C-alpha cells in the first residue's frame, strides 16, 4: 500500500508541476485557485440542471484539477495557511452541494406531469406511473 501511495503522489506531481509552475509566474494565490474551482463547479451544476449530465460530468472533472492545484500551488509558493485549508475544505463541500442541487433541479424539471414527488429527510423520489415499485416507496414517504 505504501508503494501505491508513493506512485499516486508521483503521478499527481507529474501532472500538476507544469501547471503550478505557470500559475506561480502569474502570481495568482492558492485561495483564488480554490474559488475558480468553485465557480467552474457551479457551471457544471448548471449544465446538469439543464439536462446535460455528460458535459457537466466532464466540467466537474476539470474543476477537480483546480482542487489539486490549489494545494500544490500553496506548497510551492510557501503560502500554506490554516485559512486556506479551511476555505478549500468548505468550498469543496459547497461544490458538492451545488452539483447535488443541479441534479435535483434536473429531476424537478424533467419529472413528467402527473407524477407525484415524495420528499424524505435524506432523499427525493419522483414517483408515479413511471416507477415500478410505487407501493414500496409509499411505505417510506412522509
Cβ-proximal residues to 18 (8 Å cutoff; 6+ apart), any chain: none
C-beta atoms surrounding 135 within 10 Å: 8
Check: CB of residue 59 under 8 Å from CB of residue 44.
yes
**Which grid cell sits at 15?**
501532472
Q: Round to whole Å and give the CA distance between 104 and 100.
A: 6
The catalytic site residues sit at: 92
Q: Round to whole Å and give the CA distance between 47 and 124.
A: 20
Check: CB of residue 31 under 8 Å from CB of residue 84.
yes
Q: Round to whole Å and give the CA distance between 40 and 70.
A: 14
Amino acid at each position: 500500500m505504501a508503494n501505491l501511495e508513493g506512485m499516486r503522489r508521483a503521478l499527481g506531481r507529474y501532472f500538476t508541476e507544469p501547471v503550478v509552475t505557470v500559475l506561480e509566474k502569474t502570481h495568482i494565490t492558492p485561495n483564488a485557485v480554490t474559488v475558480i474551482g468553485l465557480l467552474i463547479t457551479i457551471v457544471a451544476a448548471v449544465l446538469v440542471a439543464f439536462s446535460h449530465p455528460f458535459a457537466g460530468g466532464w466540467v466537474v472533472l476539470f474543476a477537480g484539477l483546480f482542487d489539486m492545484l490549489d494545494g500544490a500551488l500553496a506548497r510551492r509558493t510557501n503560502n500554506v495557511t490554516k485559512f486556506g485549508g479551511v476555505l478549500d475544505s468548505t468550498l469543496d463541500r459547497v461544490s458538492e452541494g451545488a452539483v447535488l442541487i443541479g441534479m435535483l433541479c434536473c429531476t424537478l424539471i424533467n419529472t413528467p406531469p402527473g407524477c407525484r414527488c415524495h420528499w424524505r429527510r435524506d432523499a427525493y423520489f419522483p414517483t408515479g406511473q413511471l416507477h415500478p415499485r410505487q407501493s414500496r416507496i409509499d411505505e417510506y414517504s412522509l
